[in-house]
Every structure is written in structure tokens, then in C-alpha cells.
Amino acid sequence: MVRAPERNERSSFRRYIRGSTAALAAIVVAAVLTGAAPSAPAGPPRGVVGGSPADTATYPWAVALSSRAEYGSARSGQFCGGTLIAPTKVLTAAHCMFDQNGKRDDRPDLKVIQGRTDLRTTTGREVAVGSVYVNPGFDATWISGDWAVLTLDEPLSTGSASLVGADEDVYAADTPSTVVGWGDTTGRGDYSPTLRQVTVPLVSDAACSTAYPGGIYGTYDAASMVCAGEKRGGKDACSADSGGPLLIGGRVAGIVSWGDGCALAGKPGVYTRVAAFARDIRDAAGL
């Protein structure tokens, strides 16, 4: 996991190794290092698959997390997404702050990029991250409580996104939701240099529990997670979209977190349920 953008930050770093054979671990690690999907079983998850072009003018608070030292200069060093929720605060996934072995990865050159629709350009602003607050309840084994708040060294003046309220009930099955990001567009390591978006329906807790009943492919927890995706597959978040927003009615209701593969039938994407953590996120961000 050393080359940008092929390091897979949407992967559930321990889920695919814990309790498996050494051969499976080798397949998974090789896939993460090369950006290729392992032949069997389905590879580490999740860029926006089956979506369409988007623009940071439409989503001014959608930001890219960057570390050129770790991921190279291609695509501005992008490896995860995030959402500006206050001038100096960015909401992202906790697992973006860890490596594939589940260890904290405090990148000294970590920056947030805003207003750069095309990561091959120098438009927009890059601001250094001064500090990282990872949810103390984050479980790196099960990828639950998957949120973190970054504090920027300088404020970004463009408008911030709104979060859904604490315990707000916006997660009814089949509700349309939108994901934006710069990640893999095929599930095979074809990372987009430009921002993309896709609209997917929310999936019921019962269906998501059936899709992820436990084991190496993950356990769905309705109290802290929400699923979204088409039954037939074809549309989803994917690698390097991690940390980006799942929007319901224009507000941030989820954070791209994990899943089995990208856009597979019967395997919806799993997102952090923001309403379950809204109070803690606001406290961490000083909102």
C-alpha cells in the first residue's frame, strides 16, 4: 500500500486477514499493493462506480485528503475524501487515519484540498491538517464508529455542509442518497482524476444484515451503520472514496466506510450512520 492512488483506503484492513489462511492474507495484501482485485474471494472494498461527472462548484464542501509523501504526486496525492463541516473542520472516516494493518498512520504532510474538481490541476486550495481527532470508540477490527474530525491550520471560507440531526430518522429503505468522490470507477483500480457522483437507494437494515451477517466480509450493525446500493449492483462508492459524504436531502447522513467489493449485486456499500454520532461529531468539531 505504497503507491497513489492504488493504496486502498476503503478496504477493511483487518477484516480480510483476521481468521483467514495465510494464502488469503497474501492475496489481499497483494491486491492492495497493486490495486488489482484478488481472484478469490472478492477483494478489498470500495471511487464512485456507475456514476457521472460532478463539480466542486456544486459540492464546495467536498474535499480530498492528500499525502504526496505516501501516495505520490499523481492525482494530487489523494487517498480519501472528506466533508468540510466548519471553516477549519473536516469530517472523514476514522479508518483513513490507519494503515492496512490497523495501525495509526499520522502522515506529516497530510493536507485537505478544496475546490479541485480535477486532481491533475492546481486549482483550489490546499491546507495543512494541524490535528486529527479519531472517534475513541472506533473499532478497527469491525470498522464501526468510523468517523474522525480533522482540524485545519487555516480556515476554508467556502460554505460548510450540514449534518443530519442526532438520532434523526432519515434512513428509510429506498430513500435516494448521493455519494461523491474521486475514487475507483470500476472496482479494478481505475481511479478517477475528476470528482464524480452517484445516486443509490438506501437498503433496509434487514437486507444489509443478510448481506453482511459476519465473518471475513464484515458484520452489519444497524445502530452505527447504514447501507446503500442497487439490488443488481452497478452503482456504488469504491476505493479512495472513503471518508466522503453520503447525502440525503443535501445533508451529510453517512460517511463512506466499507463493503465487499465495489458495486456487486447483493453487496451494498456500508456507511457510518451520522445521526448516531451527530452529537459526538459536533462536540469534537466544536460546533
Q: Exactly one of 146, 221, 236, 260 is catalytic; name it.
A: 146
Other beta carbons within 10 angstroms of residue 116's beta carbon come to 23
CA dihedral 154, 156, 161, 165 (to 10 degrees): 30
- Candidates 92, 75, 74; CA nearest to 83 is 92
Q: What are the DSSP E strand ranges found in the chain?
A: 52-53, 62-66, 78-86, 89-92, 111-114, 125-134, 148-152, 176-181, 196-203, 225-228, 245-248, 251-258, 269-273
280 is catalytic: no
Cell output for 35: 490495486
Other beta carbons within 10 angstroms of residue 121's beta carbon come to 11
242 is catalytic: yes
Q: Exactly one of 76, 95, 192, 224 is catalytic; name it.
A: 95
Distance CA 199, CA 51 (A): 7
Q: Exactly one of 12, 160, 192, 242 is catalytic; name it.
A: 242
What residues are paired with 213 via a beta bridge? Answer: 219
Could you give the residue numbers annotated as active site? 95, 146, 242
